[in-house]
Structure formats: C-alpha cells, structure tokens
Amino acid sequence: MNAHPSSAATTGADLPLVELTHDAYGVPGVVLLTLNRPDAFNALSEALIDALQEQLGALASSPARVVVIAGAGRAFCAGHDLREMRAAPSRDYYTRLFARCSKMMLTIQKMPQPVIARVHGVATAAGCQLVAMCDLAVAADTARFAVSGINLGLFCSTPAVPLTRNVSRKAAFEMLMTGEFIDAATAQREGLVNRVATADELDATVSALAKSICAKSREAVEAGKGLFYRQLEMGIEAAYQLAGQTMACNMMTDPALDGVQAFIERRGR
C-alpha cells in the first residue's frame, strides 16, 4: 500500500490524525482513511472530526472509486471525546460540536463513492454512528457495537438517526435504551454490518468487497448511490419517478449501452 499522510491535522507526535493510503489493499482506486488516535481509542475529538471532514470532502471530487474508513490500535472508534466535551460545557458549544459531527457524517452519504467501514474493534456511540453512516460495513468477528450514552445519562440522539435507518426498530430502540453491546454476528443479523470475518481475514474481505465495486461502471455506481439515498426519503410514487429518470440517464452512458449490447450478443450466440 502506498501511504500519503495528510498534513492538515496531526497528533502530538506529528502523525496525521487521519492517515491516507491510496490504492489500499493493492486495489487501484481504493482509498483507506485510518483514524489515528489509538491511545484515545480513536475518539472523535474536534480536530479529528475536522480532519476526517477535510479528507472526505477532498475525496468526493477525486478519482477515488471506493473509500474505506478504519481505526488504528485496538478500537475502531469510541465515540466523541468525552474529556474534551466536559472541559467547557455550554449549550452553544455542544450545538456547534454536534452540527460539525453531523456535517461530517452526512458527507459520507453525499459523496459519490461508496464508503466501507472496516471495524476490527469496538464501535461505540458516535463510533457506532460512523459505522451506520457508511454505505457498507465489514467487521471482525470480535468487533462489538453499542450506543452507550444512556449509561452516562445521555441519550445517543445523533447516533440514533443512522442506527434506526439500518437496523430494525425494536433492535435499535433496545440498543439505545440499554446501552448494551451487541456482537458482530448480531450486528450482521440486524443489518448494521454486511459481512463478518475473522481478524486474519478482515482485510481480505474488505478488499474483495472494494474490488468488486471498483470493477463496476463508475457512472452506474455514482448514480446508484445518489438515487439509493434520495428515494429512501420519498413516497413511493416520487421514488419511482426519480428512479425512472435516473435509470434513463444511466442508460444513455457508454458503459451501459456497451454492456447491454455485449449481453445481447452473448445471448444471441
């Protein structure tokens, strides 16, 4: 893998808060973003949120085909940095903080590239939110997930938004009300993650998923991701109208016309 660390925001050891790796797993077009606060379990400090926002925003207009988000050290992401949050409490500060974090999370959904969460350890609170906001997720069989704010007297309101759009209503409510962990198998069964692998096979599983997407038409993938999220928020008639328009535009691209023609010729042999 060819690493190209960002210099926009760094840790105390002058290491990037978000490490950037191009052609990750040896797959051209796959970009790996690694949260790099291992001693803090990759908690989302203000600086880390801003660094991730910067990288995602830049990648959205880049030639990248797939983005993978991972965590350094033992955890994927332990949520917000509670020490930082508690240092100078005020409603205005918290409002700004959660708005910044929500903007970063929404950037994942709005960018044209599919984003895969690579979860090797715990993903709690806003860390679980990050997994839920990614388009796809692959977890090690030892990974665990929780929205544990309720245990501290704080309902995980912002993590609830993507969580309830991923897992069943009662499963989400139980996680939010109890703060209890679920394991990777349960997360897969409930729809929070797509695939589960052993720790030794995690990278190979992520790589295979990313490679499969990269092999598809860029135009179709980008149009498909945009349509997928927009139609979810619509009534069924409006969704069909948008889907028809999107498919008509997609059909007029060279990859689609060539792909359909090749299929016809194969069937005609």
pTM: 0.92
C-alpha 269/C-alpha 263 separation (Å) is 10
The pLDDT score that the predictor gives to residue 265 is 85
Residues 174-212 have pLDDT tens digits of: 999 999 999 999 999 999 999 999 999 999 999 999 999
CATH number for 218-267 (one of 1.10.275.10, 3.40.50.2300, 1.10.12.10, 3.90.550.10): it is 1.10.12.10
Residues 71-81 have pLDDT tens digits of: 999 999 999 99
Looking at the chain, the domain(s) classified CATH 3.90.226.10 span 2-214
Q: Which of 43-47, 137-141, 236-240, 257-261 is the least confident region?
A: 257-261
Nearest to 196 by CA among 121, 138, 119, 118: 138
Angle between helix 236-251 and 218-232 (nearest 10): 170
Residues 202-244 have pLDDT tens digits of: 999 999 999 999 999 999 999 999 999 999 999 999 999 989 9
The pLDDT score that the predictor gives to residue 1 is 34
The pLDDT score that the predictor gives to residue 3 is 37
Q: How far is CA 208 from CA 22, 145, 213, in A?
A: 16, 23, 9
Q: Which CATH architecture has domain 2-214?
A: Alpha-Beta Complex (3.90)
| 3-class SS shares of the chain: helix, strand, coil, % to 5 | 55, 15, 30
Query: Residues near 145 by Cβ (< 8 Å), separated by ≥ 6?
Result: 119, 122, 123, 124, 128, 131, 175, 181, 182, 184, 187, 192
Looking at the chain, the domain(s) classified CATH 1.10.12.10 span 218-267
Would the pLDDT of 114 be above 90?
Answer: yes
Would the pLDDT of 152 be above 60?
Answer: yes
The pLDDT score that the predictor gives to residue 227 is 96
Q: Which amino acid is at 177?
A: M
